[in-house]
Structure 1
Amino acid sequence: MNEITLHKGKDKAAWQLHPWIFSGAIKRVNGSPENGAVVSVFNAESEFIAYGVYNANSRVAVRLLEWNPDIAIDELWWRDRLRRAVHLRKHLLTEENDTVRLVFAEADFLPGLIVDKYADYLSIQVHSSGLEKVKSVIVDELVGLVAPMGIYERSDLKSREHEGLADANGLLYGELPPEFVRVVENGIQYQINIVEGQKSGFYCDQRENRWLTAQYSRDKRVLDCFCYSGGFTLNAIRHGASAVVSVDSSALAVETLRKNIETNGFDASNHTAIQSDVNKYLRQLGEEGQRFDVIILDPPKYAPSRSTLEKASRAYKDLNRRGLMLLESGGLLATFSCSGAMDIDTFKQVIAWAALDAGKEIQFIRQFTQPEDHPIRASFPEGEYLKGLLVRVV
């Protein structure tokens, strides 16, 4: 077994079950482990800490897997971890919801692996060399557990570059998903594009937040920004919004949204879909003196790392300032950040600054987070990436 010895004082987080060992914490590598190989990790006093997978290319040099020295990291270990993860989500699959995240990387002790279920198809992302080595085992176990019609890989991720891995996209098992796969979430049907859509094709992490936000939409004029395939839009229409305007820069997103409205048989007469840069469109709405009752801001990740947090904070502030300026007293802003580097307290401060610049007095009336199929492991707080606020203008 290849062995990793840590510098003195660099073992505290590992003892506390945090799954990452950074390259700077390593004092010595015994043996010649290849990237993705299982290694034993010891502290400076030669005490065993855990088993993990090693990657010399990555800043996260070891991703820890198992703290019990008597449990081997073999094929059965990987299969057992996968079975546990899938079993914990089975109750979420109902007639009202057939899309769910089956595996959430470090939260499920499977660092670098994401598996999403979309009706009869699975979409997977492999971020780490350790999971790349056992990908065939993962696929085989998923086939036995879920019996999907097809498993499609969307591993075109920046993180793979850091692991020394090339992009990998393509069919791993069964049938190639059709251009549009029909799924159900909150009782609403969506036609989603798994092969060409953003990442895995649909963001099921907003399932509960879409439903919650819709409860405030009845008889209201709603603006859904960064609408993608229409999750917030469709929930608002279903719950009686008087009018909905949906905005996204992607032509595919706007096309998919229109298909989803048609698929559900919703009245499209009170809906408008706009292909535009969101900030540009918000500026235009302000110049026209437009006003809305409910505005949803669900932008892409602005802060992929802590080093970009300051710049991202300015972008979040400007975006939310423009949104708040379109709301009168009593208006609601549902605003989100999927940036792991942006914690909820910092996000609140950014929204407060945005309100000050917009000349608005606001109240925070609800906090949003990720659903239970995106759990936050106690020893890995970095897994808490999605946060949101429901803001009322007073």
Structure 2
Amino acid sequence: MKKEITIKIKSHFDNKIAKGYPLIEKEMLVDTSKLNQEGTVVKLVDSKQRFIAKGYYGRQNKGFGWVLSKKENEAIDGLFFKKKIQNAINNRLHFYQDPTTTAFRIFNGEGDGIGGLTIDYFDGYYLIQWYSEGIYAFKEEVLEAIKDIDYKGIYQKKRFASKGQYIEEDDFVTGERPDFPLIVKENGVNFAIYLNDGAMVGVFLDQREVRKTIRDHYAEGKNVLNTFSYTGAFSVFAAVGRAAKTTSVDLANRSLSKTIEQFSLNGIDYEAQDIIVEDVFKYFKYAVKKELTFDLVILDPPSFARSKKHTFSAEKDYKDLLKEAINITEKNGVIVASTNCSKFNMKKFKGFIETAFKETSGKYKILEEYSLPEDFKTIQQFKQGDYLKVVFIKKIK
């Protein structure tokens, strides 16, 4: 059993926690001096020592820990984790039964009842991601819960900070080691996955529905620009959807070989595509200078990025990024504007879009919108958890 301590919550936060807000924030706590060891179970009480909730202490960029239970006598033990994980899997059984998609999320943090923990499935292999030392203290309980399920192997990524640096390491846990790349399918398209190569495994699973939409409804015959392209997943789906040509741009040197690999896995001639290792902002200037335009432009930048000449923050700079994209999008072309920044909501994101078109004297129409797919379960009480915002925008003028 983990050590348990009692912590008082400031009076004006009582109701927030009671109504289901899952994040334990520093400013909520009357006294943090007893929080010395991450992984400690914390019993949250009001000023009259009445029970509010039970959670764990674990620091990550979002807060000091997560609420786990509203039941005072519920033990935070192996059985607790087993029930939570099994319930999450039961809610996703239809994913396991789809042979065209063999990669998806089976546990999504606070959405499934345990903040700071995610588990993804890759064709029989499970990848656990720990976002604080606090949740990592429950490693054995989580592993035992997964070991009750059929699996080929288990990997983990420790994503919590150590001396200011994220630990992005391969950590094989148990089972059999696959030959990498591990080939998985997403809506019938192949992806190469590396569970042993740092924090990024090869594809972001939260964009599954967006990629399918691009392939099925927007790509055919189009000249497509995919910026911040990572391993070229959007480009591959566009090419499978019979795009006339794709151009993938990313600053990372390895994006070239990774994108070539993904194209080749799907029988696509990568030499017929453009794969460019370049700062996206520099490429925009090049495209304007060369009078290059595109029918479909995909903008999916990280929330924060830094290159030698540019620092990009989605919260501050997305509007200007969008203006760059508008300038090289054909009339009646489409921009797929996407962000995973949790610091603003869809309403504010649409405000960026409106301002960007206004400042470029353009007109637009929103065609469709996407947020997280169903396997990335979220809860209404924690809107920050529903971080993904994607808008398909038609440039009318």
What TM-score comes out, normalization by structure 1 length? 0.90
8 Å CA contact 1:23–1:59 kept in 2: the answer is: no
The residue number in structure 1 matching 2:182 is 181
* One-letter amino acid matched to 1:225: T
* One-letter amino acid matched to 1:323: A
Deviation (angstroms), 1:236: 1.0
Deviation (angstroms), 1:28: 4.3
Residue 330 (structure 2) pairs with residue 340 (structure 1) = no
The residue number in structure 1 matching 2:191 is 190
Residue 40 (structure 2) pairs with residue 4 (structure 1) = no
Deviation (angstroms), 1:115: 1.1
The residue number in structure 1 matching 2:255 is 253
CA distance in 2, matches of 1:346, 1:123: 33
Superposition pairs of residues 62-211 of structure 1, within 5 angstroms:
62-93=65-96, 94-148=98-152, 150-158=153-161, 169-196=170-197, 198-211=199-212
SS of equivalent residue, structure 1 residue 349: helix
8 Å CA contact 1:4–1:28 kept in 2: the answer is: yes
The C-alpha deviation readout for 1:144-171, integer Å capped at 9, x for no partner, is 21412x222222444x668x99666411
Deviation (angstroms), 1:120: 2.9
* One-letter amino acid matched to 2:93: K
SS of equivalent residue, structure 1 residue 332: strand
Superposition pairs of residues 12-31 of structure 1, within 5 angstroms:
12-28=15-31
The C-alpha deviation readout for 1:237-267, integer Å capped at 9, x for no partner, is 1111111111122232221221121111124
Which residues of structure 2 form unaligned runs of 5+?
Answer: 306-311
* One-letter amino acid matched to 2:140: S
Change (3 A) 1:167 1:98: closer
8 Å CA contact 1:3–1:29 kept in 2: the answer is: no
8 Å CA contact 1:298–1:335 kept in 2: the answer is: yes
The C-alpha deviation readout for 1:97-153, integer Å capped at 9, x for no partner, is 0000111111111111111112232222101233211112212321321412x2222
Deviation (angstroms), 1:14: 0.5
CA distance in 2, matches of 1:338, 1:56: 21
Deviation (angstroms), 1:382: 1.4
What TM-score comes out, normalization by structure 2 length? 0.90
The C-alpha deviation readout for 1:247-298, integer Å capped at 9, x for no partner, is 1222322212211211111244542211111111121011100111111111
Residue 393 (structure 2) pairs with residue 380 (structure 1) = no
Residue 42 (structure 2) pairs with residue 39 (structure 1) = yes
The residue number in structure 2 matching 1:306 is none
Q: Pick the aligned partner of 2:328 from 326, 329, 346.
A: 326
8 Å CA contact 1:154–1:199 kept in 2: the answer is: no
The residue number in structure 1 matching 2:273 is 271
The residue number in structure 1 matching 2:367 is 365
The residue number in structure 2 matching 1:354 is 356
How many residue pairs get aligned? The number is: 385
Q: Could you say what the CA RMSD is over the residues aligned between the two structures, in angstroms?
A: 2.5
The residue number in structure 2 matching 1:390 is 392
Change (3 A) 1:33 1:251: closer
CA distance in 1, matches of 2:157, 2:36: 27
Comparing 267-276 with 246-255, greater Cα deviation is found at 267-276
* One-letter amino acid matched to 2:195: I
Identity of aligned residues (%): 25
* One-letter amino acid matched to 2:377: P
CA distance in 1, matches of 2:126, 2:65: 28
CA distance in 2, matches of 1:269, 1:31: 60
8 Å CA contact 1:104–1:114 kept in 2: the answer is: yes
CA distance in 2, matches of 1:265, 1:278: 27
CA distance in 1, matches of 2:10, 2:61: 18
* One-letter amino acid matched to 2:125: Y
Change (3 A) 1:201 1:40: same
CA distance in 2, matches of 1:58, 1:365: 34
Change (3 A) 1:187 1:57: closer
CA distance in 1, matches of 2:126, 2:35: 35
CA distance in 1, matches of 2:126, 2:17: 32
The C-alpha deviation readout for 1:164-188, integer Å capped at 9, x for no partner, is 9966641111234433111100100
Q: Pick the aligned partner of 1:53 from 53, 56, 62.
A: 56
Change (3 A) 1:263 1:45: same
8 Å CA contact 1:23–1:58 kept in 2: the answer is: no
8 Å CA contact 1:313–1:350 kept in 2: the answer is: no
Deviation (angstroms), 1:385: 0.6
The residue number in structure 1 matching 2:308 is none
Deviation (angstroms), 1:29: 6.6
* One-letter amino acid matched to 1:107: G
CA distance in 2, matches of 1:332, 1:107: 32
Comparing 288-297 with 254-263, greater Cα deviation is found at 254-263
* One-letter amino acid matched to 2:185: V
Change (3 A) 1:56 1:194: closer
Which residues of structure 1 form unaligned runs of 5+?
Answer: 304-309
SS of equivalent residue, structure 2 residue 12: coil
Comparing 88-97 with 291-300, greater Cα deviation is found at 88-97
